Chains A and B, each alone.
Chain A
Amino acid sequence: MDDLYREIILDHYKHPHNAGEISHPSCSAEKVNPLCGDEIRMDIVINNDKVTAIKFSGQGCAISIASASLLTEYSMGKKIKDLLRFSKDDIVDLLGSELTPARLKCALLSLEVIHTALKNYETKKT
């Protein structure tokens, strides 16, 4: 009936990849979507400016959990500067479907958390 709830998204929602926490991450961040109360936390390990481990925890709707799962998967092995350039449009591409403005907020939550964590890491480094 609808693109948004394709198998891949439902699959990532029901069986998310990289769910959990990392005990000694290089950086972490968490955020809440005030609209629906979704909460996402990201723990990231960085070596040589590349993401070598990443896990997310929290609660949320299908779109926010699936996007956290897909995004953590994508982030593995990527350079910090490339991830900081990752945009709203890239998230839409990653999910493979158009999103209404309200749902876009759900999809973007995990990206915002990753960006916050990475910026914290860069600030700490300098």
Chain B
Amino acid sequence: MKISSIRNDFPVFEKNKNLTYLDSAATALKPKQVIDSVVQYYSEYPSNVFRGLYPLSQRATEAYEKAREKVAQFIHAHSPSEIIFTRGTTESINFIAYAWGRLNIHSNDEIVTTIMEHHSNFVPWQELVRENGAVLKVIDIDDSNKDSLFRIEKTVFSKITTNKTKLVAITHVSNVLGTINPIKEIIAGVKRINPHCLVLVDGAQAVPHMSVDVQDLGCDFYVFSGHKMMGPTGIGVLWIRKELLEIIPPFHFGGSMIEKVTLEESRYAPPPQKFEAGTPHISGAIGLGAAIDYMNTIGVTNIQKHEMALTEYTLKRLNDFGSITMYCPQIVRHRGGVLSFNLYDSENHLIHPHDVGDVLGLENICVRAGHHCAMPLATRLGIPASVRVSLHIYNDKKDIDRLIEGLEKVRKIFK
């Protein structure tokens, strides 16, 4: 696999010479195949789905539903009707919190989550327990030894889950630490204690980088965003296990989601339509389908292998750089391509991540600096913020070498 030829698929590199893009955990770059699919929809068949009897609308409906099938196959869902298109991970989680959580989680019930969650998988639950008097239990990261550092201990969920636990909400891959959580084992442990407890998995940082099988994991909800997997912004996925599709009420009400409306009452369409009120993000879904095609052409295993090798190289270069504190597991098979760290000056004072990001930005090296929407984790680590580097298929060793050169400049300025 030649990364240079993969880079040719990304028009952004033509428009921005010397671009080193290391912020794919925020959003991934888009290949021309995805961009073209969106342009094609808007220029060749820009009509609404489900309603038109004319060919353009039929073509749009087919493309939209084809995208749903592609998503279903990609995450090994039982059927396309389990795939609900949303605006993204955040909306998918809020969907469950509002449509299911508010009806099923009551005072004194428990929700279990972890300290490594993105705010999108934390604040909706915090808000829910504030409203209804349920209890939010937050599992800490395990840093008892160097190998376990920044992981969630597998058995801790079984210890914390009780018969009052209604939901476990956990991330598949941390957007700060890069840790891959042992989701399958965690879920098995939770279900052994309480088979009625539902499990929501935030797959925003997993689906773009590794093969995911929602049935094998044993979860009940799996959520992710299109834009982090090289698809358009504004489109995301909520997967609901088929047994729950009838039980969960709609989140939004209006057009497209009904079967029959009278003055007295409305009857809803079968899933997934009952969950998708209003005109959906048609071009977004089509673009997401194209992104999945693109990933399949390269091969998800190849993507993961490439990122693992590059992660290993990045870890080595950063460790060799010195005066650096890393907030991530060092063992590559336990992690994805997200690396967070901080730099220190010669007097061992923190060089503020914002300053690091700013100096790198002047060199057209794009990294993230901040709390990465995981403030409880930053507080737990005892830092105001960190620098984050995140990798994707279009990155190569040259990007990492440029990063290290950039960090040398930072060190020179803040000596």
Closest residue on chain B to residue A62 by CB atoms: B355
Contacts of B371 in A (CB 8 A): 36-37
Contacts of A106 in B (CB 8 A): 354
0/1 per residue, A28-40, Cβ < 8 Å to B?
0000000111100
| A87 beta carbon closer than 8 Å to chain B | no
| A88 beta carbon closer than 8 Å to chain B | no
In the complex the two chains form, is B362's CB within 8 Å of A59's CB? no
Closest residue on chain A to residue B370 by CB atoms: A36
| B139 beta carbon closer than 8 Å to chain A | no
0/1 per residue, A1-42, Cβ < 8 Å to B?
110110000100000000000000000000000011110000
Contacts of A100 in B (CB 8 A): 358, 361
Closest residue on chain A to residue B356 by CB atoms: A61
Taking chain B's interface residues, is the majority helix, strand, or loop, or is none over half, making it mixed? helix
| B411 beta carbon closer than 8 Å to chain A | no
Contacts of A4 in B (CB 8 A): 358
Contacts of A5 in B (CB 8 A): 359, 413
| A78 beta carbon closer than 8 Å to chain B | no
| B68 beta carbon closer than 8 Å to chain A | no
In the complex the two chains form, is A37's CB within 8 Å of B359's CB? no
In the complex the two chains form, is A37's CB within 8 Å of B355's CB? no
| B30 beta carbon closer than 8 Å to chain A | no
Q: How far is the CA of A89 from the CA of B358 in the complex (A)?
A: 21
**Residue in A1, A2, A10, A61 whose CB lies within 8 Å of B354:** A61
| B402 beta carbon closer than 8 Å to chain A | no
0/1 per residue, B342-373, Cβ < 8 Å to A?
00000000001111001101100000011100
In the complex the two chains form, is B378's CB within 8 Å of A37's CB? yes
If A1-B413, A4-B358, A62-B355 are given as contacts, then 11 extra A-B residue pairs at C-beta distance below 8 Å, sorted by A number, are A1-B409, A2-B362, A10-B414, A36-B352, A36-B353, A36-B371, A38-B384, A61-B355, A62-B352, A62-B354, A63-B354
Interface size class of B (residues with CB under 8 A): 10 to 19
Contacts of A36 in B (CB 8 A): 352-354, 369-371, 384-385
B375 to chain A, nearest CB (A): 7
Known A36-B370, A59-B384; contact A10-B413, beta-carbon cutoff 8 A: yes
Closest residue on chain A to residue B358 by CB atoms: A103
Contacts of A63 in B (CB 8 A): 354-355, 358
- Give residues in B with beta carbon < 8 Å to A: 352-355, 358-359, 361-362, 369-371, 375, 378, 384-385, 409, 413-414
Q: How far is the CA of A103 from the CA of B354 in the complex (A)?
A: 9
Complex A-B: 13 CB contacts under 8 Å: A1-B413, A2-B362, A5-B359, A36-B352, A36-B353, A36-B384, A36-B385, A37-B370, A37-B378, A60-B352, A61-B352, A61-B354, A63-B355
Q: How far is the CA of A103 from the CA of B356 in the complex (A)?
A: 12
In the complex the two chains form, is B358's CB within 8 Å of A37's CB? no
B51 to chain A, nearest CB (A): 42
In the complex the two chains form, is A37's CB within 8 Å of B362's CB? no
A17 to chain B, nearest CB (A): 18
Contacts of A1 in B (CB 8 A): 362, 409, 413
In the complex the two chains form, is A2's CB within 8 Å of B359's CB? yes
Contacts of B370 in A (CB 8 A): 35-37
In the complex the two chains form, is A37's CB within 8 Å of B375's CB? yes
Q: Nearest 5 pairs between A and B by C-beta?
A: A61-B352, A61-B354, A37-B384, A62-B355, A36-B354
A101 to chain B, nearest CB (A): 12
Q: How far is the CA of A61 from the CA of B385 in the complex (A)?
A: 10
Which of A35, A36, A38, A59 gathers the greatest number of chain B CB atoms within 10 Å?
A36
Contacts of B361 in A (CB 8 A): 100
0/1 per residue, A43-81, Cβ < 8 Å to B?
000000000000000011111000000000000000000
Contacts of B369 in A (CB 8 A): 36
Q: How far is the CA of A10 from the CA of B349 in the complex (A)?
A: 14
Contacts of B353 in A (CB 8 A): 36, 61
